[in-house]
A and B are shown apart, each in its own frame.
Chain A
Amino acid sequence: MRYVKLPKENTHAFLERLKEWGRLYAPVKISEKFYDFREIDDVRKVEFNYNRTIMPPKKFFFLPREKLFEFNLAKAEYKEVIEDVEPFVLFGVHACDIFGLKVLDTVYLDELPDKYYKVRREKGIIIGISCMPDDYCFCNLRETDFADDGFDLFLHELPDGWLVRVGTPTGHRIVDKNIKLFEEVTTEDICNFREFENRRSKAFKYHEDWSNLRYLLELEMEHPMWEEQADICLACGNCNTTCPTCRCYEVQDIVNLDGNTGYRERRWDSCQFRSHGLVAGNHNFRPTKKDRFRNRYLCKNSYNEKLGVSYCVGCGRCTYFCPAGISFVRNLRTIMGLEERSCPPELSEEIPKRGFAYASEVRGEDL
Chain B
Amino acid sequence: MENGKVRIGFYALTSCYGCQLQFAMMDEILQLLPHAEIVCWYMIERNSYEEEPVDIAFIEGSVSTEEEVELVKKIRENAKIVVAVGSCAVHGGVQSWEKDKPLEELWKTVYGDGKVKFEPKMAEPVSKYIKVDYNIYGCPPEKKDFLYAIGTFLVGSWPEDIDYPVCLECRLNGYPCVLIEKGEPCLGPITRAGCDARCPNYGIACIGCRGAIGYDVAWFDSLARVFKEKGLTKEEILERMKIFNAHNPKLEEMVEKIFQEVKE
A: residues with CB less than 8 A from B are 30-34, 36, 54-55, 59, 64-65, 73, 231-238, 241-242, 252-260, 262, 267-268, 270, 273-275, 289, 321-325, 365, 367
Question: How far, in whole Å, are A183 and B219 apart by their CA atoms in the complex?
Answer: 57
Question: How far, in whole Å, are A253 and B158 apart by their CA atoms in the complex?
Answer: 11
Residue of A nearest to B162 (CB): A275
**Contact of B78 with A by CB under 8 A:** no
A268 and B148 contact, Cβ closer than 8 Å, known pairs A31-B181, A256-B31: no
Contact between B189 and A255 (Cβ–Cβ < 8 Å)? no
A55 and B148 contact, Cβ closer than 8 Å, known pairs A233-B219, A237-B164, A323-B180: no
**Contact of B160 with A by CB under 8 A:** yes
Question: How far, in whole Å, are A73 and B156 apart by their CA atoms in the complex?
Answer: 12
Contact between B160 and A231 (Cβ–Cβ < 8 Å)? no
A residues near B150, Cβ cutoff 8 Å: 257
List 16 A-B pairs, Cβ < 8 Å. A33-B176, A59-B174, A64-B171, A64-B174, A65-B172, A231-B222, A233-B222, A234-B165, A236-B167, A255-B157, A256-B151, A259-B155, A289-B219, A321-B177, A323-B177, A323-B189
Residue of B nearest to A258 (CB): B31
**Contact of B22 with A by CB under 8 A:** no
Q: Is the interface of B mostly helix, strand, loop or mixed?
A: helix
Contact between B35 and A64 (Cβ–Cβ < 8 Å)? no
**Contact of B199 with A by CB under 8 A:** no
Give a binary string over B206-231; 1 marks a CB under 8 Å from any A CB, 0 the rest: 00000000011101011101100100
Contact between A270 and B164 (Cβ–Cβ < 8 Å)? yes
Question: How far, in whole Å, are A262 and B154 apart by their CA atoms in the complex?
Answer: 12
A residues near B29, Cβ cutoff 8 Å: 257
Partner of B172, one of A33, A236, A262, A268: A268
A323 and B226 contact, Cβ closer than 8 Å, known pairs A236-B188, A258-B35: yes
Question: How far, in whole Å, are A97 and B180 apart by their CA atoms in the complex?
Answer: 22
Question: How far, in whole Å, are A208 and B160 apart by their CA atoms in the complex?
Answer: 46
B residues near A234, Cβ cutoff 8 Å: 165, 167, 189-190, 219, 222-223, 226
**Contact of B163 with A by CB under 8 A:** yes
8 Å CB interface, B1-54 against A: 28-29, 31-32, 34-35
- Closest CB in chain A relative to B4 CB, distance in Å: 10
Contact between B151 and A257 (Cβ–Cβ < 8 Å)? yes
B residues near A55, Cβ cutoff 8 Å: 171, 174
A residues near B174, Cβ cutoff 8 Å: 30, 36, 54-55, 59, 64
Contact between B164 and A365 (Cβ–Cβ < 8 Å)? no
**Contact of B232 with A by CB under 8 A:** no
- Closest CB in chain B relative to A190 CB, distance in Å: 39
B residues near A275, Cβ cutoff 8 Å: 163-164
Contact between B217 and A34 (Cβ–Cβ < 8 Å)? no
Contact between B35 and A254 (Cβ–Cβ < 8 Å)? no
A residues near B217, Cβ cutoff 8 Å: 235, 273-274, 289
8 Å CB interface, B159-213 against A: 160-161, 163-165, 167-168, 171-174, 176-177, 179-182, 188-190, 203
**Contact of B152 with A by CB under 8 A:** yes
- Closest CB in chain B relative to A67 CB, distance in Å: 14
Question: How far, in whole Å, are A31 and B151 apart by their CA atoms in the complex?
Answer: 39
Q: Is the interface of A mostly helix, strand, loop or mixed?
A: loop
Contact between A367 and B163 (Cβ–Cβ < 8 Å)? no
- Closest CB in chain B relative to A156 CB, distance in Å: 28
Lowest 3 A-B CB distances belong to which pairs? A255-B151, A259-B154, A241-B171
- Closest CB in chain B relative to A72 CB, distance in Å: 12
**Contact of B147 with A by CB under 8 A:** yes
A30 and B176 contact, Cβ closer than 8 Å, known pairs A231-B222, A259-B154, A275-B163: yes
Contact between B222 and A273 (Cβ–Cβ < 8 Å)? no
New contact pairs (10) apart from A241-B171, A258-B32, CB-CB < 8 Å: A33-B176, A55-B171, A252-B148, A253-B152, A255-B152, A256-B28, A257-B147, A258-B35, A321-B177, A323-B226
Question: How far, in whole Å, are A235 and B32 apart by their CA atoms in the complex?
Answer: 38
Contact between B171 and A255 (Cβ–Cβ < 8 Å)? no
Contact between A365 and B222 (Cβ–Cβ < 8 Å)? no
Contact between B161 and A367 (Cβ–Cβ < 8 Å)? yes
- Closest CB in chain B relative to A19 CB, distance in Å: 21
Contact between B165 and A252 (Cβ–Cβ < 8 Å)? no
- Closest CB in chain A relative to B149 CB, distance in Å: 10
Contact between B172 and A241 (Cβ–Cβ < 8 Å)? yes
Contact between B173 and A64 (Cβ–Cβ < 8 Å)? yes
Contact between A255 and B172 (Cβ–Cβ < 8 Å)? no
- Closest CB in chain B relative to A294 CB, distance in Å: 16
A31 and B176 contact, Cβ closer than 8 Å, known pairs A235-B165, A270-B164: yes
Contact between A323 and B179 (Cβ–Cβ < 8 Å)? yes
Question: How far, in whole Å, are A359 and B157 apart by their CA atoms in the complex?
Answer: 32
Question: How far, in whole Å, are A110 and B173 apart by their CA atoms in the complex?
Answer: 28
Question: How far, in whole Å, are A59 and B171 apart by their CA atoms in the complex?
Answer: 10
B residues near A273, Cβ cutoff 8 Å: 163-164, 168, 217
- Closest CB in chain A relative to B217 CB, distance in Å: 5
Question: How far, in whole Å, are A241 and B188 apart by their CA atoms in the complex?
Answer: 15
B residues near A64, Cβ cutoff 8 Å: 171-174
Question: How far, in whole Å, are A262 and B144 apart by their CA atoms in the complex?
Answer: 13
Residue of B nearest to A323 (CB): B179
Question: How far, in whole Å, are A5 and B154 apart by their CA atoms in the complex?
Answer: 63
Contact between A54 and B219 (Cβ–Cβ < 8 Å)? no
Contact between A257 and B219 (Cβ–Cβ < 8 Å)? no
Contact between A34 and B222 (Cβ–Cβ < 8 Å)? no
- Closest CB in chain A relative to B261 CB, distance in Å: 10
Contact between A238 and B177 (Cβ–Cβ < 8 Å)? yes
Question: How far, in whole Å, are A55 and B154 apart by their CA atoms in the complex?
Answer: 37
B residues near A238, Cβ cutoff 8 Å: 167, 171, 177
- Closest CB in chain A relative to B202 CB, distance in Å: 12
